[in-house]
Structure 1
Amino acid sequence: MDTLAQLRAGQLRGIRRLDLSAGLTEFPREIFDLADSLEVLNLSANQLRSLPDDLHRLHRLQVLFCSDNAFTELPESLGRCAQLSMVGFKACRIERVSAQALPPRLRWLILTDNRIEHLPQALGERPHLQKLMLSGNRLRQLPASLANAPQLELIRVAANQLSELPHWLLALPKLAWLAYAGNPLEADLTHAAPAPAIAWAQLHLQQPLGEGASGVIHQATWQAPGQAPQDVAVKLYKGSMTSDGSPLHEMHACIRAALHPNLIGVHGQVSDHPEGRAALVMELIGPHYRNLAGLPSLASCTRDVYPQGWRLSAEVALTIALGIASVAAHLHGQGLNHGDLYGHNILFNPQGHCLLGDFGAAAGYDPAHSPVAGALQRIEVRAFGILLGELLERIDGGLGAQDREQLQSLQERCCQPQVMGRPGFSAIERELGELKLQPPASA
């Protein structure tokens, strides 16, 4: 974290990124001294209510974070920043977003956890728009102009007041990741059979294993009455809104997902946490499992990041693809849309067995409502197609030309722009299961 003293002393000249959290109530004018180099500006966790009208003087600025401030409207000075493509104003107090506040090159907009009731039609007139985070607002509808957003791939509209998903939304040619839980339109996840109750006194928490936006996972020992102790993982959920939606919706989705070989098993739900926190007791995953990919970066936007030069065998890649297709088919059979089918949410071991996790963006739907259900399922198929393409790019030998051609054809069908022209996951699972790897021609 940079300091205001460093900025005022001129010690930060030439930097490309500035992170400044110092209880600011006004925009420091000294930031303009960095105009010839500054590309990323993070002013989150301050007390700002406005930005200067001449913000466009930061002519190289591409990314602006102003979350956890006191804004009541999205500053219109943003719209005059010619290079600004990523804008983040999460957990402010924003009620108003005008067309003038939207930069021409807008690619990634984060307005999670505000008080927004209406968005301007100009939002759909930003041709580079790719990622839109709107969970935790008061929206009753989305701008119909978004039907013409050709690059839009990820939308988060959970915990709003939407009574339906517009037909144009379900037909967007590139949409692959959609979160909509906690709206009146959603099938209620809490109607699923409850998980077994586990008393807090039966658990002994140990070291934390990881922390995400929705909660903290601890390793723990669970000893039920009359049973030998066993190692488990306990996820303690937070109460705050995440970019995907409510953490409690995530917990109910994990319960509804039920059992599958490619899911992390849920033993039960903590019934009596001393602070009233929601918690799940889950299967402990061994250290030989690791994440398939890293989170998207500022540059990649909607695409996972893989280690440079990383490769895997054709057998492992196919095992992963088949496992994810199988679990996705299972979830859709439960009336559950994962909403975040990404490599970074997949754990895998050296043999290729994989586990799909992170149900923060999951949402329920009525499988009997065939037009909507079919579209939701095939939006997720496109996410799988992107994942399959990422696996194919990294296969290191062991894949013959005929197999590669067949997998490439499947990947293209999963990603085709006509949503209902994509195969369903049951068909994908069958096709992958029937594939018999042939040795490369050079073998």
Structure 2
Amino acid sequence: GLWYYVFMYLTDKVMVSGGRAMGAFLDKPKTHKHNNHGEGNGLRYGLSSMQGWRVEMEDAHTAVLGLPAPGMKDWSFFAVYDGHAGSRVANYCSKHLLEHLITMEPPSVDAVKAGIRTGFLKIDDHMRSFSDLRNGMDRSGSTAVGILISTDHFFFINCGDSRAVLYRNSNVCFSTLDHKPGNPREKERIQNAGGTVMIQRVNGSLAVSRALGDYDYKNVDGKGPTEQLVSPEPEVFEMMRAPELDQFVILACDGIWDVMSNEDLCVFVKSRLEVSSDLEKVCNEVVDTCLHMGSRDNMSVVLVCLPNAPKVSEEAVRKDAELNKYLESQVEGNIILFSELLFGSSFTLFLTPELSRTLFCRAARTLAVICWIFSGRGYFCNSLIILAAEKGGVAVRQQHVLWSMKCQSPDELCSCSFCLKNKNTILASCGV
């Protein structure tokens, strides 16, 4: 019993829903991407989404420049929805949430914030009437993270564990807060509704404490919609814009945030914007990087560039071209040679354990140092590095970079986390 829950905790957001086991993975990831981009109201945006290792694509998104309401033509709305136990709720919200948020009142700050909260409750109540959701044939739910942008304000909206960040003056200025069952405020509501929090999940099953849909968790008699085990109530954060300092906003599902921190993702995006003005390309690089860093979830990211966003730098473009040229000369050389010597090559038969161990350490360090040089933070998106790693059987991760900075003795296993975690694999590959 308990071990089953522990296993499922490590594999998915929803463990079991009405007898339907979640968390199934494909034999190989689906890497086709859905892209879109646009420009207006002084903004540019790009987006990318990928199914990845999941059996089904359950993410959805919204991007609207100019809202169809009086006095809101210069407003814009962007959102990411991370579905679970199916895509029904996420897909519906991506098409219809905005119409529930827009108010016909003059768009004052208080009216907008109240309209957002009311809109979430309305669409959640509206979807409950759908026959497939009402009779239990579909038990899906979805997080929602979004932003309304006016000429003067940002309205960050969050319900669940997708996340939005604002990059201002080369720093992460703001981030939404994930709604997790273990958070004291969320846990108190869950327990007051008669539920429990087990292994950081609602009743040992759902890993988010706020979501749209998920009606199996919204049936407690005597409790209002915001007092249920899972609440559809969003948190809304209003901020004044700082046109001379604001650079970009990132909205992404947890398939991105699982493997990148707020700071690291923003620094990565900033570095890529200095090389390319193609926002779809930058978003694709984010998704590819997260996939190869080990994300097993659907991945979606929306990048909204503000007027003061980083511009393409000739120096950065030159350095990027030089790196590509260097990698082209190296990929079929030392990196592949090291990797083939270590993983499955007939040459391994002639290597002593000591020499094999030395080559392993140096191969991993070579990959790590190149990644470090490329981004300065241990992340990479260059397809040549990915190709080298895949051909050689070496999984390039941030741990390689951290290890390469700590492990100073390539001829023996040290006590760093990488060596300790991979001790058996290293020794086996070295014939020990």
Higher helix share: 2
Structure with the greater relative contact order (CA < 8 A, sep ≥ 6): 1 or 2?
2
Higher strand share: 2
TM over 0.5: no
TM-score scaled by structure 1?
0.28
TM-score scaled by structure 2?
0.29
